[in-house]
Amino acid sequence: MKVPSPTSRSAEKRCLQRKQQKKARSVTMSVIDARDLIFKRQLLPNYCDGGRNRDGSRARFHAPGERLLLEQAAPYFWVMSTQETLFPEAAPAMPGGFRYQPALISPQEERELIEHLSRLPLKPFEFHGYQGNRNVKAFGYRYDYSRRRAEPAEDIPDFLVPLRRRIAQFAGRPPDDFVQILATEYPAGAGIGWHRDKSQFEEVVGVSLLSPANFRLRKKSGAGWQRRSQRIEPRSAYLLSGTARHDWEHSIPPQASLRYSITFRTLAAPGVK
């Protein structure tokens, strides 16, 4: 039996390597342009210019226009992914006057509130003869859309008094300032469109119950809109005051499951209509 010489084995190895390289070059989808990676030299000069790859091998920076196999470029993509994870893009700041407080109340308090709300004589929201897909009940004051003014309503029930104290502390105002309370039931598929609260009211605090929602805000900006959003979890509260209250509209898109909200409002200064 003839034993291959070291020279022939080396030649076979080189031949196999050339075949593998040729096959890799034929896969055009595995080739990228190093110009797409040029910015990495600015972000990570030590890595791309004489640093080390994950496997410990020496890394070098590839000049613009040089072609790279995807396998060669993998370390760069790994660093790009790591860089994006370590330094995520900051979310835009919420409008001035908007505040959010998760877990304002306990799960037990939420269950008790929902039990009371489920027994209220809620009625479909009405607006100039139109009935909305949410059900409401107002206390203290209600807004009369035909007369365009706030009218006295039923007294605030005892079960809402402790919650009013809690939201007043969150808002930094005396509890008695919040003279209007609106209980709302949002069945599955219900939401509320873009609007601002009526000018007869001033600060607004909402407490969300049972299901999460996406609280959206928008403000006209030239031909488009500035937009912000806040996920409001069950048992959380949000405050609308100042710019967020008067300059931005808000809405909640239709939800997949039943949700309740309790909204507290202060009255605007006398003379505001």
Of the candidate ranges 22-26, 34-38, 48-52, 113-117, the one whose mean pLDDT is the lowest:
34-38
| pLDDT of 2 over the 80 cut | no
Give 144's pLDDT tier (boundaries 50, 70, 90): confident
Alpha-carbon distance of 257 to 212, in angstroms, equals 9
Mean residue pLDDT of the chain comes to 79
From the list 206, 195, 198, 208, the residue with the least C-alpha distance to 240 is 206
Contact 201, 178 (CB under 8 A): no
Count of other CB atoms within 10 angstroms of residue 158: 8
From the list 262, 258, 238, the residue with the least C-alpha distance to 248 is 238
Mean pLDDT of 134-146: 91
| pLDDT of 156 over the 70 cut | yes
Mean pLDDT of 235-257: 97
Contact 267, 200 (CB under 8 A): yes
Which positions ≥6 away from 114 have C-beta within 8 Å?
209, 210, 260
Contact 76, 83 (CB under 8 A): no
pLDDT tens string 42-82: 333 333 334 444 455 554 444 444 444 444 444 444 444 44
Q: Give the pLDDT confidence score for residue 31 in this predicted structure.
A: 36
Mean pLDDT of 266-273: 76
Which positions ≥6 away from 192 have C-beta within 8 Å?
132, 134, 186, 251, 252
Contact 236, 209 (CB under 8 A): no
Mean pLDDT of 109-121: 98
Contact 83, 208 (CB under 8 A): no
